[in-house]
Amino acid sequence: MLKLFYAPNACSLAPHIALNEAGADYEAILVDTKTGEQRAPAYLAINPKARVPALATDRGILTEVPVLLAYIARMFPKAELAPMAWKTPEDQFDFFEMQSFNTYLASTIHITYAHLFRPERYADTDAAKADMKAKVAGNLATQLQLVEDRFADGREWVHGAHYTVSDPYLYVFTRWLDREGAGGITRFPKLAAHRARMQQRPAVQKTLEQEGLAPV
């Protein structure tokens, strides 16, 4: 059985939703990051990076959200959580375009949020931390506008008419827009509509209930 190590409302929410969308048989294991459990020896033996999520498989441990999402999509192909072109070896472009989007969320959007939530990782003085946090809302405005623009053609989901694992990943970051200092979601009406659609999905509702979260 798969085991997902997660923290509520962390980026691990995305693979947690994906597992429920896939109808996977898995165990969700809470890591209490508020008390520092991610740095305890027991969890470091699972993920030495001291981060969530981690996914225990019968082959070993996987980490990093884009990897977990791709793994879930490929392990549960009947759920159709990734562009189906990857089934055809000679045409995998759509799958890798999905990976490009997910990597942008991981390497750019998530890091910008980290400047707000974890400035101590990047600066030592209070002044430097304050300067860093002050730039977050503006940086997110620029970065997420690129995502907002994807929906200009009227599409429902990140990659068009078909729901993929990119959608729960984006949902994580649109949830976080409501956090103090992030700038809010009102400047992104299409992302707000996507967030509302996500919260109508049974798998999302189930995951929020499992993590003790409310819709936003």
Q: With respect to residue 210, please indicate whether it lies within any of the assigned structural domains.
A: no
Q: Is residue 124 part of a domain?
A: yes
Q: What's the mean pLDDT when you consider all of the chain?
A: 96
Nearest to 166 by CA among 107, 100, 211: 100
Peptide bond into 41 cis (omega under 30): no
pLDDT digits (tens, 9 = 90+) for 107-132: 999 999 999 999 999 999 999 999 99
Domain edge (last residue) among 56, 79, 102: 79
Instruction: Mark whether 59 and 106 lie in a shared domain.
Output: no
Based on the fold, state whether residues 47 and 95 are members of the same structural domain. Answer: no
Kindly report the CATH number assigned to the domain that includes residue 175. Answer: 1.20.1050.10
Cα–Cα–Cα angle for 165, 199, 83, nearest 5°? 20
State the pLDDT confidence band at 51, using cuts at 50, 70 and 90.
very high
Is 151 a domain residue? yes
CB contact burial 9-24 (16+ within 10 A = b; e otherwise):
bbbbbbbbbbbbbbeb
Q: What are phi and psi of 4, to 5 degrees?
A: -105, 120
Q: Is residue 213 part of a domain?
A: no
Please check whether residues 39 and 124 belong to one and the same domain: no
**139 lies in the same domain as 74:** no
How many Å apart are CA 180 and CA 103, to the nearest integer?
25
Whether the model clears a pTM of 0.85, i.e. scores above it, the answer is yes
Convert the pLDDT of each residue in 148-190 to its tens digit. 999 999 999 999 999 999 999 999 999 999 999 999 999 999 9
Rounded CA separation 86/66 (Å): 16
- Does residue 84 have a pLDDT over 80? no
Residue 63 tokens read as: 């980490």
153 & 139 share domain: yes
Residue 15: is its pLDDT beyond 60?
yes
Q: Are residues 96 and 191 in the same domain?
A: yes
Q: Looking at residues 55-65, what average pLDDT do you find?
A: 98
pLDDT at 147 over 80: yes
What is the average per-residue pLDDT within 90-119?
Answer: 94
207 occurs within a structural domain? no
CA angle 169/216/25 to nearest 5° reads 45
On whether both 71 and 93 belong to a single domain, the answer is no
Looking at the structure, tell me whether residues 24 and 114 fall in a common domain.
Answer: no
Whole-number Å distance between alpha carbons of 22 and 8: 20
Q: Residue 114 domain-assigned?
A: yes
Residue 57 parent element (H or E) = strand 54-57
Helix (H) or strand (E) holding 70: helix 65-75
Instruction: Work out how many domains the chain is built from and give that number.
Output: 2
Do residues 72 and 15 lie in contact, with contact meaning Cβ atoms separated by under 8 Å?
yes
Is residue 114 located within the same domain as residue 196? yes
Does 55 share its domain with 27? yes
Please answer whether residues 140 and 112 qualify as being in contact, where contact means their C-beta atoms are separated by less than 8 angstroms: yes
Q: Is residue 131 part of a domain?
A: yes
The parent domain of residue 101 ranges over 84-201
Residues 6 or more apart whose CB falls under 8 angstroms from that of 41 comprise none
Mean pLDDT, range 88-106, rounded to an integer? 89
Radius of gyration of the chain (CA): 17
Checking if the pLDDT of 87 tops 80, the result is no
Please report which confidence band the pLDDT of residue 91 belongs to, taking 50, 70 and 90 as the band edges.
confident
Q: Say if residue 58 is in the same domain as residue 114.
A: no
> Three-state DSSP class for 91?
coil
Phi, psi angle pair for 62, to nearest 5°: -115, 145
pLDDT of residue 62: 98
The CATH number of the domain holding residue 13 is 3.40.30.10
Residue 128 is assigned to a structural domain of this protein: yes
